[in-house]
């Protein structure tokens, strides 16, 4: 494995308390964390989204409703019962290899496993977590009218430690197109993205998990806050609301609130129903209701 990548994995192990860095499953957990963190701004247990063996072709899976990974059919029902419409739902599936090469057979087995998992009549063997994913999926299908665009999104990540950009086989690109067509034939997901990721993409994903959120805004005015214990200097900055939304809150690449801005009970979208809007104050945690000064970095 590339020494830089080894350093990333070691940092991941230190952060999450995995002592056996030589465990071959560690790389699977590392990739599962990096990919799912991109879509889930709330905390989650990486072991909870990692398959336990006995399945074909899938090393990690997660279903995210709004900002939360649902762990059971019951949780999915509870989460969707509080929604009216335009709820973002993302499925993430992962396959990881510590080898440098991208294999046509491995990539094809991966996407076929995903297709089988959400098919009505599955044929492949699956572990207990993937069986739970099937149950969660059934709940989501039953609540399709509450989902943004009427369909959940599906993201497949096939990771190897080589360089995807400099691949030499046109067959690999053909598998990517084939996978999206095959899974798309089920008419369940939109969009469907098959993402082969190598050393460069893994680097970007890992760094995004540890880098602070940064934004630059134009201040119309500022107010000094008196010094207090542990704080030498602080301000209340005043800026235009639309400018704040554009530069800080909105994630242009995902067309939603930037993940990680809120770590409370704040949804990406609560719907246009007046009844829903009237209940916003009831759904916010008490901590969010309190006046706060936020230091945005």
Closest C-alpha among 253, 149, 137 to residue 191: 149
Residue 38: phi and psi, rounded to 5, are -60, -30
Burial of 229 (0-12, 13-18, 19+ CB in 10 A): exposed
The tokens of 116 are what? 């089988």
pLDDT digits (tens, 9 = 90+) for 8-58: 999 999 888 887 656 668 999 999 999 999 899 888 999 999 998 766 789
Q: What is the mean pLDDT of residues 128-145?
A: 95
CA atoms of 247 and 239, how far apart (whole Å): 11
CA atoms of 285 and 192, how far apart (whole Å): 34
The tokens of 160 are what? 């190897």
> Tokens 């572990």 sit at which residue?
127
Q: Does the pLDDT at position 187 exceed 90?
A: yes
The tokens of 76 are what? 């999915």
The tokens of 146 are what? 């509450």
pLDDT digits (tens, 9 = 90+) for 189-248: 999 999 999 999 999 999 988 876 667 788 888 888 888 888 888 888 888 888 787 777
Kindly indicate the confidence band of residue 276, based on its pLDDT and cuts at 50, 70 and 90: very low
pLDDT of residue 82: 84
Kindly indicate the confidence band of residue 254, based on its pLDDT and cuts at 50, 70 and 90: low
Do residues 92 and 157 touch, judged by C-beta distance below 8 A? yes
The tokens of 234 are what? 């602080």
Task: Say whether 45 sits in a helix, a strand or coil.
Answer: coil
pLDDT digits (tens, 9 = 90+) for 76-131: 999 999 888 889 999 999 999 999 999 999 999 999 999 999 998 888 888 899 99
> Tokens 């430690």 sit at which residue?
161
Across the chain, mean pLDDT equals 83
CA atoms of 67 and 267, how far apart (whole Å): 7
CA atoms of 212 and 257, how far apart (whole Å): 16
CA atoms of 91 and 118, how far apart (whole Å): 11
């Amino acid at each position: 494995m590339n020494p830089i990548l080894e350093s990333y994995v070691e940092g991941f192990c230190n952060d999450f308390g995995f002592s056996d860095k030589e465990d071959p499953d560690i790389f699977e957990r590392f990739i599962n964390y990096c990919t799912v963190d991109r879509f889930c701004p709330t905390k989650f247990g990486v072991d909870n989204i990692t398959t336990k063996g006995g399945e074909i072709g899938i090393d990690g899976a997660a279903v995210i409703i709004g900002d939360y990974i649902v762990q059971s059919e019951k949780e999915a029902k509870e989460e969707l019962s509080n929604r009216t419409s335009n709820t973002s739902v993302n499925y993430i599936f992962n396959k990881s290899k510590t080898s440098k090469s991208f294999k046509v057979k491995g990539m094809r087995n991966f996407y076929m496993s995903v297709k089988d998992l959400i098919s009505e009549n599955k044929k492949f063997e699956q572990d207990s977590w993937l069986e739970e994913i099937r149950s969660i999926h059934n709940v989501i299908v039953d609540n399709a009218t509450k989902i943004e665009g009427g369909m959940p999104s599906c993201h497949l990540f096939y990771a190897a430690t080589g360089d995807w950009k400099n691949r030499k086989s046109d067959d690999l690109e053909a598998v990517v197109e084939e996978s999206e067509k095959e899974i798309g034939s089920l008419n369940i997901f939109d969009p469907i993205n098959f993402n082969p990721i190598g050393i460069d993409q893994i680097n970007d994903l890992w760094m995004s998990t540890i880098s602070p959120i940064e934004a630059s805004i134009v201040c119309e005015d500022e107010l000094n806050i008196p010094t207090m214990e542990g704080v030498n200097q602080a301000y209340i900055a005043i800026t235009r609301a639309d400018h704040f939304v554009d530069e800080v809150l909105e994630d242009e690449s995902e067309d939603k609130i930037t993940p990680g801005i809120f770590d409370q009970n704040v949804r990406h979208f609560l719907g246009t129903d007046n009844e829903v809007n009237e209940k916003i104050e009831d759904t916010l945690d008490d901590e969010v209701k309190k006046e706060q000064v936020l230091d945005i970095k």
